[in-house]
Structure 1
Amino acid sequence: MDRLDIDELPGARADLLCFLVATLAASRTLTYEWRIDHLVESCRIWLARNAVAMHWLDRVLLGQLALKIAKNELQDSGIAVRQSDVPALFTGEMTLNRASTVVQKMMKLCKESL
């Protein structure tokens, strides 16, 4: 299967960034740690699920941005992810739940950060 470059798919970079931020925030809420292994695996899963290719350096840079947003900017933007919020961040297929107001706020922040 041929993969599109991430920049050939409109909105894909923001979607991936938001997915990574949500994953980091959920992981932190549940484990009390910043799990970089979850970040790396989530990036791989998202890229495979969407049949999208991304240069390894771009993945690292986007991952660093996701960590920065999750660690510093969510709280500053009034976005708190509590344990009760975690199931609502994702659908049953582990994609972003776009109906969630928390995800909507994260997406706005991610788009502004790109």
Structure 2
Amino acid sequence: MPDRKDLQYTAEHEWVLVEDDVATVGITAYAADKLGDVVFVDLPEAGSDIASGSVVGEIESTKSVGELFAPVDGTVTESNQAVVDAPELVNSDPFGEGWLIRVRFEALPELMSFDEYTALVGE
């Protein structure tokens, strides 16, 4: 699991791990906690082109339905089938096994640092 301080974040409560030209994306523990027990995850298929800021997936919990927003423009290289099969991974390990998608991108938009994100959520 990456150190949370090494990740980048979005205002939509997603974390982004950048490795070369691939971004691994998940939702933060804060978002998972606010959603409650996740019971269903819908993710884009590998090969899907996505645009930064667009809705690319859905995370359904016993409390509500949340949307997954694309933090970058690019092509989905992988969706986490383990999360689709066991949505509770989003709650139990949001920064590890609960990752959602990997996206190959050409340009990385400006994202928040760990300190900026914790200031946003007040933690």
* Same fold per superposition (TM over 0.5): no
**Bigger helix share:** 1
Normalised by the length of structure 1, the TM-score is 0.32
Normalised by the length of structure 2, the TM-score is 0.30
**Bigger strand share:** 2
